[in-house]
Amino acid sequence: MTEEAIATRREEIELQGLELNAALEGSHVKGDRQLIERLVANLLDNAIRHNTTDGRIDITTATAAAGAVLSVANSGPVIAPAELERLQRPFQRLGAERIAQGSGHGLGLSIVHAIATAHGASLAVDPRPASGLHAEVRFPAVSPR
């Protein structure tokens, strides 16, 4: 799913001059495929949309002892840690400059949060030390069929 999401956004990533670093390991996740695809798409779209010119996106998928892990980070603007919880609520944006862009509705992270919760997954969103945001979703372990 993550490979497909990247492939459909590769042109936009290149047009914005973003460097994409992807390390994708196959993982098994139990749940609604369309919802999980939306979760991946929202995280990637946010990493693209809320980035800096010539910025970067780091995306990884892996299997840990506790389950599948999806990690998406970007080099966007600095975000105060106090803003992170609010940004996971519906219709919340970081500031007026994002509203002026006219892209998005402030639903991306709230949808990700809802989908993660519905699948028993955890969502951690943290500011990166220099700039940008790091989001990590940890899905519960599933036995492969």
Distance from C-alpha of 101 to C-alpha of 66, rounded to nearest angstrom: 39
Q: In the prediction, which pLDDT does 98 show? A: 38
Q: In the prediction, which pLDDT does 101 show? A: 44
| CATH level 3 topology of 2-138 | Heat Shock Protein 90 (3.30.565)
100-135, pLDDT tens digit by residue?
344 544 456 888 999 999 999 999 988 887 788 899
Distance from C-alpha of 83 to C-alpha of 109, rounded to nearest angstrom: 12
E strands in 33-112: 56-64, 67-74
Distance from C-alpha of 31 to C-alpha of 25, rounded to nearest angstrom: 18
- Number of alpha helices (DSSP H) and beta strands (DSSP E) in the chain: 5, 5
Helix (H, G, I), strand (E, B) or coil at 33: helix
Is 70 exceeded by the pLDDT of residue 81? no
pTM of the model as a whole: 0.82
Question: Which is more confidently placed, 34 or 92?
Answer: 34
Listed by start position, the domains of the chain span: 2-138
Give 42's DSSP letter.
H
Asked if 39 and 111 count as a contact pair (C-beta separation under 8 A), the reply is: yes
41-78, pLDDT tens digit by residue?
999 998 998 898 889 999 999 998 889 999 999 998 87
